[in-house]
Amino acid sequence: MVLFRLSFLAALATDVAASYSPRISSIIKQAKRGENFNVPLQSLLHERRDGPEADAESANALQTHDLIDLESLPFASAAFVSIDAIQNGHSNLDLSHASRVDTHVHIVPDFYLGLVLTTGQSPTPSHLQEHHIHVHAGLDGFHDNEAYSVGLAKLLNEWLAELRRAFPKRFEFYAVMPLPYTPAAIKEAKYALTSLGAIGLGLLTNHEGLYLGNAALAPFFAALNATVRGPHVCIVHPSEPLIRINGTLVVADPTKQCSTALYLTGQVEFYFETARALMDLTVSRTITNYTNIHYAFGHVNGAFPSIEHRFIKTIPGFEQAPRRP
């Protein structure tokens, strides 16, 4: 797919504009016409992998990714068109008045906006703010749908990598992780860090109701900890609290029972959600076990600092535990 070609260019940090192979161009044309593309992903990957430039590491990364069936995703065509627009300078991005350095920016590609209408209980913002340097896109689009979550994360990361490639002095990015699908997230993390040029990973405080210290997510942190070129940075953003009841994920925000209007998730619950995730990383010892990972929490660490001391005292032996240097 076009994605893999673009990511290859991003990995080389080249400024040369890509010229697509005829097959890739035809996929983009089809997508622009609203047609489904149906070129076997595998054959395109072979095209790429056989090139003289492909080194062992990126070949490996691509091999893991041919398991993602992008062609079956209803939003993939729109993503390709969007990536192609950045590539060809047709993205409507005007950075001429950019003047600030901002490290907490949400990027909202047009195809994502069409999929995720609200974020933190407010309408998902429709614009790409234009002065940013570090960006990340949360992934909270599909619950209980591994194929869509993994595919969407992949497309968002390729989009972010293309943005960085097109504006190398303007953007860095944290890659979106398709958690709680741990094996897929491990592959995507390695690929994003080694091939796409992500500076770190973007996580949510909970992924489908699992907080970051949950044992089901430990293999992800173990694999990331063991990935070369650390320390790796995870930027953690609050999300809506969710709880699984009888198999169904429901919103677990008690203040909503009082007044939805007064307690907007994005403006109130996020601070408590941040504290929960920090507590969970701490009490599970994810923080102290996996010292090759550093964390960045937004919103001044939410409500955590005010309870940190009391909380840590409840964890046997924690204060004596080894800390990262």
Ligand X SMILES: *[C@@H]1O[C@H](CO)[C@@H](O)[C@H](O)[C@H]1NC(C)=O
Binding residues for ligand X, rule: CB under 6 A, are 218, 225, 245-246, 284-286, 289-292
Report yes or no: 157 and 61 within 8 Å, Cβ to Cβ. Answer: no
Distance CA 1, CA 177 (A): 21
Q: Which is nearer to ligand X, 21 or 291 (CB)?
A: 291
Pick the closest to residue 138 from 123, 152, 128, 121 (CA basis).
Answer: 152
Q: Which is nearer to ligand X, 290 or 304 (CB)?
A: 290
Q: Which is nearer to ligand X, 42 or 248 (CB)?
A: 248
Query: Structure tokens of 225?
Result: 């900890």
Q: Which is nearer to ligand X, 49 or 285 (CB)?
A: 285
Q: What's the min distance (Å) between Cβ of 295 and ligand X?
A: 14
Q: What's the min distance (Å) between Cβ of 23 and ligand X?
A: 42
Q: What's the min distance (Å) between Cβ of 243 and ligand X?
A: 10
Q: What's the min distance (Å) between Cβ of 205 and ligand X?
A: 16
Number of other residues whose CB lies within 10 A of the CB of residue 40: 10
Q: What's the min distance (Å) between Cβ of 291 and ligand X?
A: 5
Query: Cα dist. 302→236, 253, 275, 293 in Å?
Result: 11, 16, 6, 20
Question: Can you list the alpha helix ranges (DSSP code H) found in the chain?
Answer: 2-12, 22-32, 41-49, 56-65, 76-87, 110-113, 146-166, 182-191, 218-226, 270-283, 286-289, 304-313
Q: Which is nearer to ligand X, 206 or 284 (CB)?
A: 284
